């Protein structure tokens, strides 16, 4: 019997019990919806993170005292580490031919900036160098950026992120005004263009002052800086990492047989960590979806068994007029697959819809990969085959005489 005829008959049979068919397939719908929604959100987030990282210049790397992502408390070997200093950054810039720029920065967090009656929420005060803003692709809106002289003379000047300008100076030109941050007065010399949101986090809620000023006001002790390094070219990235490593090991007196006592992170590594993180979230969701598909599959098996019993007479008639076992087997198998496949299509539609909706009303972007749609459909069809085979073979094995006599 042709497949088209089979599908036509399956749809007829499902149409006869619309509500029942819908309820049966709900488990599949929920499972597929979960997978598609999660996939589209995670994929969208990955895209956006990748875009952001690319905009940072994917070859810059960071040197820190501690790993950026760590689980639990830091061990002994980490706590004994020496702090990284501004001088380390300067040495890297001076001694490594493969390094174009090296810039140190530190952070004071949380702080609130005040101007007259106005107050910002908690923000971070970054102590940086003129290169910091360039390396992170911020552009100036008004006034001037930090200068080497600001750093050298430890001037109490700040450049405001766009959120801060908005909060403190909604109607006023901030240039030349004095803001109060954690007990010290700073003169505003410039403001930045807004950069927008990244994963729901504003990238404009900070102020930046020279790193030397930060250390003067808030202390140098127990403050390790982060060093941002930009290699001369993308190809020179590994070379720059090697040279910077050598310089730091020598300056910190690390014996040749000991591992590094600092951490180097490229953006690719960050990306990997990020992907691992979203990967495990996705894994958990797939687990939940798997259970949902399993339950859905059992539901399909159950309803197909009911259907086989209800239609015993029909099976008898079909066998009497010449249906082979395989004809009956395919008929019920295709009915089960049609049921689960329709559930899959419904789930794909819902998942895409929810993904788009979340993308529209929240900062999370959604991207629906085509392969996820194919995957969702294939999986739901496979569930239909797996859980449909038992009821179908039961139908195929019915004795025609007994089936014809069935009331």
Partner 1 sequence: MLIELKKVEKVYKVGAVEVPALRGIDLKIEANEYLAIMGPSGSGKSTLMNILGCLDTPTKGSYIFAGREVANLTDDELAQIRNRKIGFVFQTFNLLPRATALHNVELPLIYSGVPASERVRRAAEALESVGLGDRLNHRPNELSGGQRQRVALARALVNRPSIILADEPTGNLDSKTGAEIMELFKKLHQEGNTIVLVTHEEYIAQYSQRRLKLLDGRVQDDIHLEESR
- CA end-to-end span of the chain, whole Å? 27
Answer yes or no whether residue 316 interacts with partner 1 by CB under 8 A. Answer: yes
Which lies closer to partner 1 via its Cβ, residue 166 or residue 314?
314
In the complex, the smallest distance separating the C-beta of residue 313 from partner 1, rounded to whole angstroms, is 7
Answer yes or no whether residue 102 interacts with partner 1 by CB under 8 A. Answer: no
Answer yes or no whether residue 310 interacts with partner 1 by CB under 8 A. Answer: no
Contacts of 313 (CB under 8 A, 6+ apart): 403, 404, 406, 407
Answer yes or no whether residue 320 interacts with partner 1 by CB under 8 A. Answer: yes
Residue with structure tokens 């690390």?
A: 254
Considering only residues 101, 136, 155, 319, which one is a binding residue for partner 1 as defined by CB under 8 A?
319
Answer yes or no whether residue 400 interacts with partner 1 by CB under 8 A. Answer: yes
- Spell out the long-range contacts of 285-290 with Cβ–Cβ below 8 A and sequence spacing 24 or more: 285/34, 285/35, 285/38, 286/35, 286/38, 288/34, 289/31, 289/32, 289/34, 289/35, 289/38, 290/31
In the complex, the smallest distance separating the C-beta of residue 331 from partner 1, rounded to whole angstroms, is 11
Answer yes or no whether residue 5 interacts with partner 1 by CB under 8 A. Answer: yes
Answer yes or no whether residue 309 interacts with partner 1 by CB under 8 A. Answer: no
Considering only residues 139, 326, 362, 378, which one is a binding residue for partner 1 as defined by CB under 8 A?
326
Answer yes or no whether residue 314 interacts with partner 1 by CB under 8 A. Answer: yes
Answer yes or no whether residue 1 interacts with partner 1 by CB under 8 A. Answer: yes
Which lies closer to partner 1 via its Cβ, residue 175 or residue 404?
404
Answer yes or no whether residue 331 interacts with partner 1 by CB under 8 A. Answer: no
Answer yes or no whether residue 313 interacts with partner 1 by CB under 8 A. Answer: yes
In the complex, the smallest distance separating the C-beta of residue 16 from partner 1, rounded to whole angstroms, is 6
Q: Which tokens is 61 given?
A: 């790397």
Which lies closer to partner 1 via its Cβ, residue 136 or residue 318?
318
How many Å apart are CA 343 and CA 33, to the nearest integer? 10
Which lies closer to partner 1 via its Cβ, residue 235 or residue 310?
310
How many Å apart are CA 251 and CA 247, to the nearest integer? 6
In degrees and rounded to multiples of 5, residue 120 shows phi and psi of -90, 160
Binding mask 68-87 toward partner 1 (x if CB under 8 A, else -) reads --------------------
Which lies closer to partner 1 via its Cβ, residue 101 or residue 319?
319
Considering only residues 318, 335, 341, 346, which one is a binding residue for partner 1 as defined by CB under 8 A?
318
CA 181 to the chain's CA centroid: 34
From the list 8-16, 183-191, 270-278, 341-349, the region that binds partner 1 by CB under 8 A is 8-16
Which lies closer to partner 1 via its Cβ, residue 12 or residue 55?
12
Radius of gyration (C-alpha) of the chain in whole angstroms: 32
From the list 1-9, 54-62, 136-144, 204-212, the region that binds partner 1 by CB under 8 A is 1-9
Answer yes or no whether residue 334 interacts with partner 1 by CB under 8 A. Answer: no
Residue with structure tokens 């159950």?
A: 302
Considering only residues 16, 69, 284, 298, which one is a binding residue for partner 1 as defined by CB under 8 A?
16
Q: Which tokens is 328 given?
A: 């009956």
Give kind and range of the element (H or E) at residue 78. helix 76-79
Other Cβ atoms less than 10 A from the Cβ of 391: the count is: 23
Q: How long a stretch of residues is the chain?
A: 407
How many Å apart are CA 163 and CA 206, to the nearest integer? 8
Answer yes or no whether residue 299 interacts with partner 1 by CB under 8 A. Answer: no
The C-alpha angle with vertex 365 and arms to 362 and 371, in degrees rounded to 5, equals: 135
Residue with structure tokens 């930090």?
A: 146
Closest CA to 231 of 62, 362, 54: 62
Which lies closer to partner 1 via its Cβ, residue 7 or residue 404?
404
Answer yes or no whether residue 11 interacts with partner 1 by CB under 8 A. Answer: no
CA 361 to the chain's CA centroid: 17
Binding site for partner 1 (CB under 8 A): 1-2, 5, 12-13, 16, 313-314, 316-327, 400-401, 404
């Amino acid at each position: 019997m042709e497949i088209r005829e089979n599908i036509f008959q399956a749809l007829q049979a499902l149409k006869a019990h619309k509500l029942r068919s819908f309820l049966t397939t709900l488990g599949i719908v929920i499972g597929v919806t979960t997978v598609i929604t999660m996939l589209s959100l995670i994929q969208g987030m990955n895209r956006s993170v990748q875009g952001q990282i690319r905009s940072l210049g994917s070859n810059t790397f960071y040197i820190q005292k501690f790993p950026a992502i760590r689980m639990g408390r830091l061990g002994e070997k980490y706590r004994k580490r020496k702090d990284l200093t501004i001088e380390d950054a300067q040495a890297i810039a001076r001694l490594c031919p493969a390094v174009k720029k090296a810039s140190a920065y530190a952070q004071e967090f949380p702080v609130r900036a005040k101007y007259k009656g106005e107050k910002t929420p908690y923000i971070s005060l970054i102590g940086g160098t003129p290169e910091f803003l360039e390396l992170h692709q911020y552009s100036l809106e008004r006034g001037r950026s930090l200068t080497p002289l600001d750093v050298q003379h430890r001037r109490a000047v700040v450049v405001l992120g766009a959120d801060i300008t908005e909060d403190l100076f909604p109607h006023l030109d901030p240039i030349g005004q004095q803001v109060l941050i954690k007990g010290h007065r700073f003169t505003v010399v410039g403001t930045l263009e807004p950069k927008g949101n990244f994963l729901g986090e504003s990238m404009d809620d900070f102020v930046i002052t020279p790193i030397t000023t930060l250390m003067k006001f808030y202390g140098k002790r127990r403050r390790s800086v982060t060093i941002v390094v930009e290699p001369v070219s993308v190809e020179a990235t590994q070379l720059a990492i090697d040279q910077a490593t050598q310089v730091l090991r020598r300056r910190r007196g690390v014996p040749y047989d000991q591992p590094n006592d600092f951490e180097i992170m490229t953006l690719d590594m960050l990306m990997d960590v990020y992907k691992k993180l979203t990967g495990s979230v996705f894994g958990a969701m797939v687990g939940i979806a798997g259970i949902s598909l399993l339950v859905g599959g059992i539901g399909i098996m159950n309803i197909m068994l009911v259907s086989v019993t209800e239609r015993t007479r029909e099976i008898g008639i079909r066998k009497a007029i010449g249906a082979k076992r395989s004809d009956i087997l395919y008929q019920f198998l295709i009915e089960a697959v049609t049921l689960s496949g329709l559930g899959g299509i419904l789930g794909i539609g819902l998942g895409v819809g929810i993904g788009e909706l979340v993308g529209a009303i929240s900062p999370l972007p959604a991207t629906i990969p085509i392969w996820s749609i194919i995957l969702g459909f294939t999986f739901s069809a496979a569930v239909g085959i797996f859980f449909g085979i038992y009821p179908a073979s039961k139908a195929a094995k019915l004795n025609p005489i007994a089936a014809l006599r069935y009331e």
